[in-house]
């Protein structure tokens, strides 16, 4: 398992490390029951359309029968749409959130078919890639994000920024099997990973050389931003990188239509049109907010492990300092549908 961590003092060596092809880890050995449950080959025998239909039915049943699932989903939707024009829909959206959660869990183990794009999104992507400049692709944890990058990285190789724990050796349990499966799929798609530790100079150089870099916008940081109708502490590195390297910012999202994944891309944001990276950050926040409020039930819980750590509510999202400083042994990989504890307890996945 390769780990393109940026431990090199030499920028050229660091660039060579992140450009090297990925090497997927071996699938950890587990007991028969878990091996069957996490077998992509066996899962793939069931047509995706049917698998999604069954997942939706399971989600509806979970909403009816499980008060804890309802309570958690209501808290999640209150944190997301509270303060917005969709606040009154929180209860309806909470039910949809439970259903979408089950669908994403099932899709993860189904064959990863390339996402589709409509004509407008395809035009925006081609505009950005054809500019000859670096492209910073900005996504939120919305929809089946493990599928949507394929629509863009099939046109141009992407460098995806991931946290250090994503490069740890998979453990012999459900979470480890899930992580190994993810790596195998990324390797098949010939994508690249960049460890977030010390990544800024390498990302900046990749962008200066006209590469495509993928980052996630909805992550905690030090920039107070008016987002989703409330003050949210967000990371602002995307806007800084784009401004510093004269790269285009391309807001994107994942969504489902039936059982197929689609990639939506907004018009590229050009740093030349903004006076500061703060203004660019606010414009990116507005674009991501529009995407999210159209499909709020498909956004991951902002209070999940590795995000705002129970610090997100309808009043605002501020990560508790003690949670931010505490070590996290196994948080979600970027875009994962649930933390390891929930994955193991739910019986699904």
Amino acid 197: pLDDT: 86
Look-up: residue for tokens 């069954």?
54
pLDDT in tens, 226-243: 999 999 999 999 999 999
Mean pLDDT of 130-136: 97
pLDDT at 321: 66
**Would you state the pLDDT for residue 325?**
46
Contact between residue 52 and residue 258 where contact means Cβ atoms under 8 Å apart: yes
Count of CB atoms within 10 A of residue 231's CB?
Answer: 15
pLDDT at 120: 98
Q: What's the pLDDT tens digit per position in 310-330?
A: 999 999 999 876 444 444 333
Tokens of 66: 């499980």
Percent of the chain scoring above 90 in pLDDT: 81
| Pairing relationship of beta strands 316-317 and 312-313 according to DSSP bridges | antiparallel
Local structure of 332: helix, strand or coil: coil
| Per-residue model confidence (pLDDT) at position 319 | 86
User: Rounded to whole angstroms, how far apart are CA atoms 343 and 346?
Assistant: 6
Q: Are 121 and 251 in contact (CB under 8 A)?
A: no
Mean pLDDT over the full length of the chain:
89
pLDDT at 270 over 70: yes
200-208 vs 11-19: helix crossing angle, rounded to 10? 80
């Amino acid at each position: 398992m390769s780990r393109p961590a940026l431990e090199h003092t030499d920028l050229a060596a660091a660039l060579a490390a992140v450009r090297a092809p990925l090497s997927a880890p071996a699938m950890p050995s587990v007991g028969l029951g878990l091996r069957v449950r996490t077998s992509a080959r066996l899962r793939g025998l069931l047509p995706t359309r049917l698998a999604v239909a069954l997942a939706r039915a399971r989600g509806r049943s979970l909403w009816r029968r499980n008060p804890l699932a309802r309570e958690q989903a209501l808290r999640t939707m209150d944190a997301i749409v509270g303060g917005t024009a969709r606040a009154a829909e929180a209860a309806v959206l909470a039910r949809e959130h439970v259903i979408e959660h089950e669908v994403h869990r099932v899709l993860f183990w189904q064959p990863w078919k390339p996402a589709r794009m409509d004509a407008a999104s395809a035009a925006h992507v081609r505009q950005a890639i054809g500019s000859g400049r670096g492209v910073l692709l900005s996504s939120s944890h919305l929809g089946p994000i493990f599928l949507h990058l394929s629509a863009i990285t099939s046109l141009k190789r992407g460098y995806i920024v991931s946290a250090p724990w994503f490069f740890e050796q998979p453990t012999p349990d459900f979470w480890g099997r899930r992580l190994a499966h993810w790596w195998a799929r990324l390797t098949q798609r010939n994508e690249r990973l960049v460890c977030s530790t010390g990544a800024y100079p390498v990302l900046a150089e990749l962008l200066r050389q006209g590469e495509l870099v993928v980052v996630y916008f909805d992550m905690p940081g030090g920039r107070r931003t008016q987002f989703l109708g409330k003050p949210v502490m967000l990371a602002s590195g995307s806007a800084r990188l784009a401004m510093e390297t004269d790269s285009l910012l391309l807001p994107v999202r994942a969504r489902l239509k039936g059982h197929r994944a689609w990639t939506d891309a907004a018009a590229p944001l050009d740093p030349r049109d903004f006076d500061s990276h703060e203004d660019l950050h606010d414009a990116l926040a507005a674009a991501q907010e529009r995407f999210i409020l159209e499909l709020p039930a498909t956004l991951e819980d902002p209070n999940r492990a590795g995000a705002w750590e129970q610090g997100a509510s309808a009043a605002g999202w501020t990560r508790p300092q003690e949670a931010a400083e505490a070590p996290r042994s196994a948080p979600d990989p970027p875009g994962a549908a649930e933390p390891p504890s929930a994955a193991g307890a739910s019986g699904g996945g």
